[in-house]
Amino acid sequence: MPHEIRVTTPDELAAMPRPKAWLCDMDGVLIHENLALPGANEFIKALESSKIPYLVLTNNSIFTRRDLSARLATSGLQIPEDRIWTSAAATADFLASQSPGGSAFVIGEAGLTTALHQYGFVMTESDPEFVVLGETRNYSFSAITQAIRLIEGGAKFIATNPDATGPSAEGPLPATGSVAALITTATNRQPYFVGKPNPIMIRAGLNLIGVHSETTAFVGDRMDTDMRSGLETGLQTHLVLTGSTDLADVDTFPFRPMAIHEGIAGVIPLIS
């Protein structure tokens, strides 16, 4: 008999262990279209007042961590840049561990190029070790062509995240995953995606704030990235229904979150 998919009750929540650290997705959990979601400010304030380590994660590679801190502030959320972890920063961290001081041809915005520079990478079109694909609102046909030729010439293919589309006021936009698929079709080379759901982004975030997976919780709005990466990293997983996932969607996946909440306010009782 399958378990009923429903929002976690207060009694069930009270029986759960109290996490010693928190990871939290950004879009669809804390904010939606640059507006703070109900309970987001209270969630961050509860973590700060309890001195509990936390990190806000996003697969967005367009903006720097400082940019995102400023954007969150305009939404009323005071989150310092050292409490933000992007797929761009995770990609730079990963590449620095693979090839310190390496070189890369980059398709992306300041969030990605700044992170790579901070980790000592050189940007070049001449025989780079890596082609690194991130998100941009202005994908260039000539840059994609150059990437294809460099990959065919031996450069290793890295992408910040597999998201096929991104949100905009006008509707979905093609994102990193879609352009990566185009390059893969042309080169027959699959990229290595660093961002969620790759657990490597989560583990790097845990290391950044000095906490362990067994005592950390992850709050997200997507089953395919947030809950999957949390599960594969051994975190306590909390799904909120304010973003990409409806309650009915949960049953289409072969795994379950530990708890389901109407919104981020639902996890605040676990902060102590």
Q: Identify whether 94 is part of a domain.
A: yes
Indicate the pLDDT class of residue 173, thresholds 50, 70 and 90: confident
CB-CB contact of 240 with 268 (8 Å)? no
Q: Identify whether 41 is part of a domain.
A: no
∠ Cα 165 91 134 (to 5°): 35
Q: Is pLDDT at 231 greater than 50 in this prediction?
A: yes
Q: Is pLDDT at 168 greater than 90 in this prediction?
A: no
Indicate the pLDDT class of residue 77, thresholds 50, 70 and 90: very high
Q: What DSSP character marks residue 30?
A: T
Q: Identify whether 71 is part of a domain.
A: no
In angstroms, the CA 60 to CA 228 distance is 18
Q: Choosing from 25, 93, 163, 221, which is the catalytic residue? A: 25
Q: Identify whether 63 is part of a domain.
A: no
C-alpha distances out from residue 91 to 57, 115, 182, Å: 13, 8, 20
Q: Is pLDDT at 261 greater than 50 in this prediction?
A: yes
Q: Identify whether 61 is part of a domain.
A: no
pTM: 0.94
> 27 catalytic, yes or no?
yes
Q: Identify whether 181 is part of a domain.
A: yes
Q: Identify whether 252 is part of a domain.
A: no
CB-CB contact of 219 with 22 (8 Å)? yes
In angstroms, the CA 30 to CA 264 distance is 7
pLDDT value at residue 2? 57
Q: What is the mean predicted confidence (pLDDT) over 225-250? A: 95
Q: What is the mean predicted confidence (pLDDT) over 186-213? A: 98
Task: Give residue 253's region: left, alpha or beta (phi > 0; psi -120 to 50).
Answer: beta
Q: What is the mean predicted confidence (pLDDT) over 173-187? A: 95
Q: Identify whether 54 is part of a domain.
A: no
Q: Is pLDDT at 253 greater than 70 in this prediction?
A: yes
The CATH number assigned to the domain holding 186 equals: 3.40.50.1000
Q: Mean pLDDT of all residues in the chain?
A: 95
If one counts the domains in the chain, the total is 1
Indicate the pLDDT class of residue 34, thresholds 50, 70 and 90: confident
Q: Choosing from 11, 27, 163, 246, which is the catalytic residue? A: 27
Q: What is the mean predicted confidence (pLDDT) over 157-161? A: 98
> 25 catalytic, yes or no?
yes
In angstroms, the CA 240 to CA 259 distance is 9
pLDDT value at residue 1? 43
Instruction: Quick: pLDDT tens for 86-112.
Output: 999 999 999 999 999 999 999 999 999
- The residue range of the domain holding 184 is 88-193
